[in-house]
Amino acid sequence: MTKRAHIIVVGNEKGGTGKSTVSMHLIVSLLGMGLSVGSVDIDARQATLTRYIQNRLGRKDADRLGLVGPEHVALPPTADRAGDEARLAETVAGLAAAHDVVLLDTPGSDHYLSRLGHSFADTLITPLNDSLVDLDVLARVDPETMRILRPSHYAEMVWDTKKARAIRGEKAVVDWIVLRNRLAHLDARNKQAMEKLLADLAKRIGFRVVPGLGERVIYRSMFLEGLTLLDLRQDLPGFELSMSHIAARQELRTLVEAIGLNKLAA
Ligand SMILES: Nc1ncnc2c1ncn2[C@@H]1O[C@H](COP(=O)(O)OP(=O)(O)O)[C@@H](O)[C@H]1O
Ligand SMILES: [Mg+2]
| CA of 220 relative to ligand 1 center, distance in Å | 7
DSSP string, 53-105: HHHHHT-TTTTTTT----EEEE----S-HHHHHHHHHHHHHHHHHH-SEEEEE
| Smallest-distance ligand from the CA of 12 | 1
> At residue 212, does pLDDT exceed 70?
yes
CA distance 147 to 163: 28
Return the pLDDT at 118. 95
State which ligand 1 atom lies nearest to the alpha carbon of 127. 22
The whole-model pTM stands at: 0.94
Q: For residues 104 and 204, which has the higher predicted lDDT (pLDDT)?
A: 104
Q: Which residues line ligand 1 (CB under 6 A)?
A: 15-21, 48, 108, 181-182, 213, 215-216, 219-220
CA distance 264 to 266: 6
| CA of 257 relative to ligand 1 center, distance in Å | 21
Q: How far apart are the first and last CA of the chain?
A: 19
| Smallest-distance ligand from the CA of 41 | 2
Domain 6-264, second-level architecture: 3-Layer(aba) Sandwich (3.40)
DSSP string, 138-201: TEEE-TTT--EEEE-HHHHHHHHHHHHHHHTTS----EEEEEEESBS-S-HHHHHHHHHHHHHH
Amino acid at residue number 82: A
Per-residue burial over 118-134, b = 16 or more CB atoms within 10 Å of its CB, e = otherwise? bbbbbbbbbbbbbeeeb
> At residue 17, does pLDDT exceed 80?
yes
Q: What is the mean pLDDT of residues 133-162?
A: 88
Q: What is the mean pLDDT of residues 88-103?
A: 97
| CA of 15 relative to ligand 1 center, distance in Å | 9
Report the length, in residues, of the chain: 266
CA distance 116 to 113: 5
> At residue 70, does pLDDT exceed 50?
yes
CA nearest neighbour of 160 among 21, 4, 13, 58 = 13
| Smallest-distance ligand from the CA of 44 | 2
CA distance 164 to 258: 26
| CA of 21 relative to ligand 1 center, distance in Å | 5
Alpha carbon dihedral 111, 114, 119, 124, in 10-degree steps, equals -130
Q: Whose CA is nearest to atom 25 of ligand 1?
A: 220
> At residue 1, does pLDDT exceed 50?
no
| Smallest-distance ligand from the CA of 11 | 1
CA distance 192 to 199: 11
Q: What is the mean pLDDT of residues 135-158?
A: 88
Taking the CB of residue 212, how many other CB atoms lie within 10 A of it? 23
> At residue 3, does pLDDT exceed 60?
no
Q: For residues 57 and 171, which has the higher predicted lDDT (pLDDT)?
A: 57
Return the pLDDT at 174. 87
Q: What is the mean pLDDT of residues 150-168?
A: 89
Q: Which of 10, 21, 25, 178 to mutate to test the pocket of ligand 1 (most atoms within 8 A of CB)?
A: 21
Q: Which of 52, 109, 220, 254 to mutate to test the pocket of ligand 1 (most atoms within 8 A of CB)?
A: 220
Q: What is the DSSP letter of 51?
A: H
> How do residues 216-244 score in pLDDT, each as one tens digit?
999 999 999 999 999 988 777 777 888 88
Between 12-16, 98-102, 127-131, 200-204, the lowest mean confidence (pLDDT) is in 127-131
For the chain, which residues make up each domain, given as ranges? 6-264
Give ion ligand 2 contacts, CB < 5 A. 19-20, 43, 48
